[in-house]
Structure 1
Amino acid sequence: MNKVSPIIAFVHVPKTAGSTVNHYLARSRAPGQAHVESLFSQSHKIREKIAGYDWVSGHVPFPKMRATLTRVTFRHIHFFTAIRAPDAQVMSHFNWLIEIRKRGRSFYNAHPPQIKEISERIRAADTSDPRQIIDLLHGSRQLFLNFQSQMVLGKRHPTTSLDELEQRLRVYELIATEATLPTLIERVSGQAYQPKKRKNVSPYHFPKDVFQDQRLLEFLHEENACDFALYDFVQSRSAEQNIR
C-alpha cells in the first residue's frame, strides 16, 4: 500500500556529518534509502520505491531533490540538511579525496572518473604547500568552492539579499550546523544523538595547519563567499530563535 504520510528528504552535503544522520535514519527502522543518487536516475523504479519510503537521503542538490520527488509523489515533503563552517568543510572534503584511495582499490574504483582524476591530482601534489592547495581548489572549484550553497540552494550569487535568502531557505524544516546536529537527528529519526556514534570519520593525510595559512584563508573567504554567507545567516537565524 502506498504511504500518504510526509516523507523526509535529507540533502546530504558531503563532510557535514551526513553519514551520521544516515546512520540514525537507518536505525529508526522506518523504510527509506540513503545515497539515492543512482535511484534518482532510474525513472522506471523511483516512483514505486518512493511510494513505500518514509525517508530518502543523498548527495543530490536541493533543486533536483525537490523536482524529482514532486514528480513521483503527491505526499508532503519535509526537507532537512546540514552545513558546516566553510573552511572546515572544504578542508575535510579536500582530505576525503585522498581518503577514498586509502580505503582500498575497490572502494576507490566505485567513484566516478572525474572524482578519481581530482584525487590523483591532489595525491600527486605537495599538500603542505598552501599555494598548491589553492591551485587545486581553484582547478576543481565546482567540487570545493561554494559547494554547500549549490547543494542547499542551487547556484546563488554572493550578493543575494538576506530577505531573498530567508525566503529561499523557508522550504527547509531545519538546516543544522555543528551545534544543532543533535536537534536534526532527533527530528528526523526520533532518537537522541550520541557523540560517540559519529560515522565515516577519517584521519587527515596532510598537516591541518596549512589551512591556517593567511594566503589560503584569504582565497577561501573571497572564492567561497556564498558558503560563508549561507553559514553566517543560518547561525544568526538559529541564535535569534534561541533568544525567542
Structure 2
Amino acid sequence: MRLEAVTDQNFCEADYLIANPDVRAAVEKGILASGRRHFQQHGYREKRHQRAPLIFFVHVPKTAGSTVNSHLKELLPDGSPHSEEWFYDDASMHLLDTLSWVSGHIAYSWANSRIPQFTNRRVEYFTCVRDPTDRVRSHYNWLIEIFHRDGHDDNPDWVKSMSEQIRNSGYSIPAIQANLLEYRWHFLNCQTLFLARDIEPMAGAFGSFKFVATPERLTDLLYTMTGKEVSLARRENESPHHFDPQLFREPEMESFLRRHNALDEQLFEFARSGKLSNPTEASTSPPWRARAHVLALRTKRRLAHW
C-alpha cells in the first residue's frame, strides 16, 4: 500500500483509518470520535501516514504510455497496466481499493464516471500527450506493424479488418487520408477524446489532471506520480517504419491534419504551456471551443481494446 504524509489540507478519513488500524479499532469501539480527531490530537505529532490516492494513468495510444507503464511496474509493483481488460466489468472494480495505480486505454470521462460508483477513494489523474502529427503517423504505422508480429490473431476482428484495409490500400497520401477519415474515431482528435471531461467533448473542456506530460517531461511525470527519480529506458514497443514517415510532413498532409485534427493540435499547444496540469484551470476554463464529431458510445468500446 502506497502511503503519504498527512496534513490538515490532504487529510482523508477513510485513507487515514486504512493506514492506521489501531486508530480504526479505537473509532469502531467508540474510544475515539473519528480519525480526524486522532490526527488533530496525536497523529500529527506521531507523523502518521494515510493511504495515498489512487494513481490513474490515462494511456492515450502512441504517446509513450508503454514507457510510463514499464517504469511504474518497477517503482510501484502493486499496479495494473492495460486495465481496460477489466475496468468495464463491475465484478472486477473492487481492484480499485487494492492497487496503487491503474493504467489503461480508458478515457478520462469514463474513468471519472465509473470510479465513484465503486469506491470513495481519492484519485489523481495523469496522462501523456504527443505532437499530434507524430501520434497519428505512429498509430497508422502500428496498425500495419501488428500484422508482422506474433499475436496478430489475438487482436479483435475490427482491428484486424482495419489493419488489412490500411495495408491493402497502399501508401499514397490520398489513400492515407481516406483511411484516416474512415477510421477517424481512432486517429483524429484522439487525444482530445481521451482527455475530455465529458463523454462527448462538444466544447473541449478537459478533465482534471494533476500532471499532463509532453515527451520531454516524462521524468517529471514519473517523479510526480511516484516521488522517485528515474532514468528513462528505450520504448519497448517501438516499431519499424512500413512507409516513408515524411509523407505526414508533406504540405498536402499537413493541411489535411490542420483541418481534421485541429482539436489535438490546439490541445498539444495548451499542454506544452503547462496549464493542463492545473486541475482547476483545466476543468473550468477551457482555452478553446470546438466540436469533436465523435460517436462516444461506439468509441468507448473500441478504445477499450487499445
**Counterparts of 1:14 and 1:72, CA distance in 2:** 26
* 1:225 aligned partner: 262
Residues in 2 aligned to 1:230 and 1:199: alpha-carbon distance in whole angstroms? 26
Matched-pair contact (CA < 8 Å) for 2:62–2:135: yes
Q: Over the residues paired in the alignment, what is the CA RMSD in angstroms? A: 2.2
| Cα offset, 1:238, TM superposition | 5.7
Alignment of 1:8-23 (within 5 A): 8-23=55-70
Q: Measure, in 2, the Cα distance between the counterparts of 1:202 and 1:192.
A: 27
Question: Does the residue aligned with 1:200 lie in a helix, a strand or coil?
Answer: coil
Once the two structures are superposed, what CA deviation does each residue of 1:89-113 show, in whole Å capped at 9, x if it has no partner? 0000101101111112xx2122221
SS in 2 for 1:8: strand
Q: Quick check: 1:192 aligned with 2:238?
A: no
The alpha carbon displacement at 1:22 in A equals 0.4
Equivalent AA in structure 1 for residue 182 of structure 2: G
Aligned residues: 229
Task: Give the match for residue 152 of structure 2.
Answer: 108
Q: Aligned-pair distance for 1:17?
A: 0.3
Which residue is 2:191 aligned to?
Answer: 148
CA contact (8 A) 1:11 1:57 kept: yes
CA contact (8 A) 2:189 2:261 kept: yes
Q: What amino acid is aligned across from residue 45 of structure 1 in structure 2?
A: S
Larger of the two Rg values belongs to structure: 2
Q: Distance in 2 between matches of 1:155 and 1:179?
A: 30
SS in 2 for 1:199: coil
On the 8 A contact 2:57/2:125 being kept in 1, the answer is yes
Shift of 1:156: 2.8
> Does 2:141 match 1:95?
yes
Cα distance in 2 for residues equivalent to 1:78 and 1:102: 37
In the alignment, the residues of structure 2 paired with residue 10 and residue 97 of structure 1 have an alpha-carbon distance, to the nearest angstrom, of: 23
Instruction: Report the more deviating stretch, 65-74 or 14-23.
Output: 65-74
**Which residue does 1:235 correspond to in 2?**
272
**Larger displacement relative to structure 2 (129-138 or 230-239):** 230-239
CA–CA distance in structure 2, aligned partners of residues 38 and 187 of structure 1 = 26
The question of 1:123 aligning with 2:167 is answered yes
Give me the whole-angstrom Cα distance separating, in 2, the residues matched to 1:191 and 1:20.
15
Match of 2:218 in 1: 181
DSSP-derived class of the 1:196 partner: coil
CA distance in 2, matches of 1:234, 1:29: 26
CA distance in 2, matches of 1:91, 1:194: 27
CA distance in 2, matches of 1:73, 1:109: 36
Q: Which structure is higher in helix share?
A: 1
Task: Please give the TM-score of this superposition, normalised by the length of structure 1.
Answer: 0.87
For residues 175-227 of structure 1, the C-alpha deviation after alignment (integer angstroms, 9 at most, x for no partner) is 11112111112222334342433221111111111112211111111000110
Residue 75 in structure 1 maps to residue 121 in structure 2: yes
Give the conservation status (yes or no) of the 8 Å contact 2:126–2:209: yes
> Which residue of the partner structure matches residue 136 of structure 1?
179
Structure 2: which 5+ residue stretches go unaligned? 2-17, 20-50, 279-306
2:74 is aligned, of 27, 48, 53, to: 27
Q: Which residue of 2 aligns with 1:52?
A: 98
Q: Quick one: distance in 2 between partners of 1:190 and 1:93?
A: 31
Contact 1:79 1:173 in 2 (8 A): yes
Give the residue type in structure 2 aligned to 1:13.
Answer: V
Deviations 1:44-94 (A, max 9, x none): 1221x1211010000001111112222111111000000000000000010
2:249 partner letter? Q
Q: Tell me which amino acid in the other structure corresponds to 1:176.
A: A
Q: Which amino acid aligns with 1:133?
A: I
Corresponding position: 1:66 with 2:112: yes
Larger RCO of the pair (alpha carbons < 8 Å, separation 6+):
1
Cα displacement (A) at 1:230:
0.6
| Residue type at the aligned position of 2:148 | K
Secondary structure (helix, strand or coil) at the match of 1:41 reads coil
TM-score by length of 2: 0.70
